[in-house]
Amino acid sequence: MRKRPDWLSETKAQRAQRIGKSGEKKALDRLRAKPVARSGAGRTKGDGRKFCGEHELHIEHKTTEAASFSITRRIRDKLLGDAGARRLPLLSTTFIHHRKKDETWVTMPLWVFNTLINEEIDL
């Protein structure tokens, strides 16, 4: 008799963790960013790092199977705080579609966008 696959007996939390880790790895590959070892442990913050010219990006990644994802003030404040004064904050989100290819979106403050494109935009 064949052994039952582990993913058939996993809990909802275990599934979320498995999907989150695989989504994070795929997104960092798509962004051509380096993963942060032991991210979230101790003082190590963020899921990835990438250098764009003279700027270092602090990348936090979220994966969801839901139809939408809300960026709350708590997420925004955590991202800005973890990035510190030397890195530019960037949030990537992967939407998991079971019948289509997954989509990864990138969100950043306007001042980060302006810095990266090296242009001032008046709104």
Q: Contact 44/76 with Cβ under 8 angstroms?
A: no
Strand partners, 50: 57
Q: Contact 91/74 with Cβ under 8 angstroms?
A: no
Rounded to two decimals, the pTM is 0.75
112 falls within a domain: yes
10 falls within a domain: no
Q: Which domain holds residue 73?
A: 56-123
92 falls within a domain: yes
74 falls within a domain: yes
Which of 45-54, 77-86, 94-103 reaches the highest mean pLDDT? 77-86
115 falls within a domain: yes
96 falls within a domain: yes
Identity at 51, one-letter amino acid code = F
d(CA 35, CA 37): 6
18 falls within a domain: no
Dihedral angle at the C-alpha atoms of 30, 31, 37, 43, nearest 10 degrees? Answer: -140
Average pLDDT, the chain: 82
d(CA 92, CA 80): 14
40 falls within a domain: no
pLDDT for the residue numbered 102: 85
Looking at the structure of the chain, the number of domains it has is 1
DSSP symbol at 24: H
